[in-house]
Amino acid sequence: MAKKSLLDRLLGRNGKENIAPAPAAPKDNRIPNMTNKTLLEQLDWRYATKKMDPAKAVPQEKVDAIVEAIRMAPTSSGTQPFELFVVTNPDVRSQICKAAGDQTPITEGSHLLVFAAWDNYTNARIDEVADLNVKARGDLPLIGQYYGNLKANYVPRDAEVNYAHAARQAYIALGVGLVAAAEQEVDSTPMEGFDPATVDKILGLKERGLRSVVLLPLGYRDPTGDWLLQMAKVRKSRETMVTLVN
């Protein structure tokens, strides 16, 4: 069986759908330097890097591949209720680092991804998702009915409930981003330990109806300075984690 990249798998379509294949050249540009490692080997290779090498920047084509995988991540009802900020500005990353307890991968890595979820579901936001579906799939009655029901259920809910739901969708995309980074052999460190209100202010998120959820620095591990690198990966056993209900 031919090896497919993560993006190939995310972009996979049911054979019954009449969708033209993407042009080969853009696809090659988007998915650079794919290794022959299996998914499990890539997951075993990655770890939450504690110290990155500031002299090594992640090539733009690899960042683009990771960002594209995040964009292709599944979300509830296809709403994609979050935005992704790719921060390279050293001053901005320094400010965010201070708001995150001086966790150095934020400034030592070359890129910082900030996942920012919608602060609420609104009619306008859901209508925009419906319009995207109509444009791609045609003006089917089912689309209007589906997203009409979504508005009826979501919009009246408390804003905090809706934000929590949107944040969970961002975490799905975070997981895809972590796997995509591993596939590109780029180190990453997911971070929740930061002051969201401060990060929101730094990036002007409140004015855009967004709230910061999680951070993901990208870079390359410093083999001489990362205390975690030489340690064995620790995970619970399959027997401990998995219960079969037959």
In the chain, domain spans: 36-121+157-241
pLDDT score recorded for residue 5: 77
Give the C-alpha separation, 47 to 49, whole Å: 6
pLDDT score recorded for residue 10: 79
At position 36, the amino acid (one-letter code) is N
Give the C-alpha separation, 80 to 132, whole Å: 12
Least confident of 3-17, 40-54, 165-179, 184-198: 3-17
CATH of domain 36-121+157-241: 3.40.109.10
- Residue range 144-163: mean pLDDT, rounded: 98
Give the C-alpha separation, 220 to 62, whole Å: 12
pLDDT at 153 over 50: yes
Tokens 């951070």 locate to 215
pTM for the whole thing? 0.87
Question: Rounded to 5 degrees, what angle do the CA atoms 72, 78, 245 make?
Answer: 90
> Is 69 within 8 Å of 177 (Cβ atoms)?
yes
Give the C-alpha separation, 53 to 221, whole Å: 6
Contacts for 237-240 with beta carbons within 8 Å, 24 or more apart?
none
Give the C-alpha separation, 178 to 174, whole Å: 6
> Is 215 within 8 Å of 92 (Cβ atoms)?
no
Give the C-alpha separation, 104 to 189, whole Å: 10
Per residue in 112-143, pLDDT (tens digit) is: 999 999 999 999 999 999 999 999 999 999 99
